[in-house]
Chains A and B, each alone.
Chain A
Amino acid sequence: MLRYESLFITVPEITSDEAGSLEKTLSKAVTESKGSIISFERWGKYQLAYPIRRNDYGVYYLMRFEVGDDRKDEVLAELKKLYGVKYGELIMRSVVKSLPAKHSLEYKRPESLEEAPSKDIDTIMKESKNILRRDRGGDMFQDDNLD
């Protein structure tokens, strides 16, 4: 059996119904070819490093699956179709990578916006004051140079 993982970004406005049907269809595509799903995780909402299709945010999903050596091409072609055609409007970007056989399934990922602790108003005010002070200091320094 070969192990694969697929990471994909969906539009930020994805509903739970759409996400549910997406998970069902993808797992069906794998199980129909005698493969099995190892895990299907929702990472959460993230700010993208650059806008994709004019979206600044996206929701990441990671799916890991196993498939036999003889059926792998079939599964990968089916996934490509689903990502590109059927869910082309929902899924903004996707990647499928093979996992080494003896590789552990543990991995590290960045913190999503939902997991990050929300700032209270006092810390936001303090930060903005610090930025203002720094900017003023910079101006004074420039004035000194001119003199």
Chain B
Amino acid sequence: MRISSKTLQKKKRRRSGFQGKKHCRFCANDANASSLDYKNSYLLRSFITERGKILASRISGNCAGHQRQLASEIKNSRIMALLPYTAQ
């Protein structure tokens, strides 16, 4: 099977555009991990979308343990009306 040079170039471009592995923000910094709390809505706001949905760890780069903790803190924060359930 022949592959045209154009498609090869495209593939190369895609590879070069690939970012390195994302790292968990909470594992990297102890101060960040200790500030992960349902009261700290300012920090939690950076992990939800405009619609109010929780960002996937594949996008935010969090490790599985911290992602679980983050999700429960966001849900607690929503109960106390510090974060929205959905966009109004």
Residues of A with Cβ closer than 8 Å to B?
7, 9, 46, 48-50, 52, 58, 62, 93, 95, 97, 104, 107-110
Contacts and interface: CB of A to CB of B under 8 A. Distances in A.
Q: Which bucket holds chain B's interface residue count?
A: 10 to 19
Contacts of B88: 50
A110 B41 contact: yes
B67 to A, nearest CB: 20
Given A50-B88, A95-B76, A110 B35 contact: no
Contacts of A107: 35, 37, 39-40
Interface string B34-59: 11011111110000000000000000
B63 interface: no
Contacts, number: 45
B81 A104 contact: no
Given A50-B84, A50-B85, A50-B88, A108 B79 contact: no
Nearest to A8: B80
B81 A93 contact: yes
Contacts of B80: 7, 9, 93, 95
A135 to B, nearest CB: 19
B66 interface: no
A110 B76 contact: no
B34 to A, nearest CB: 7
B24 interface: no
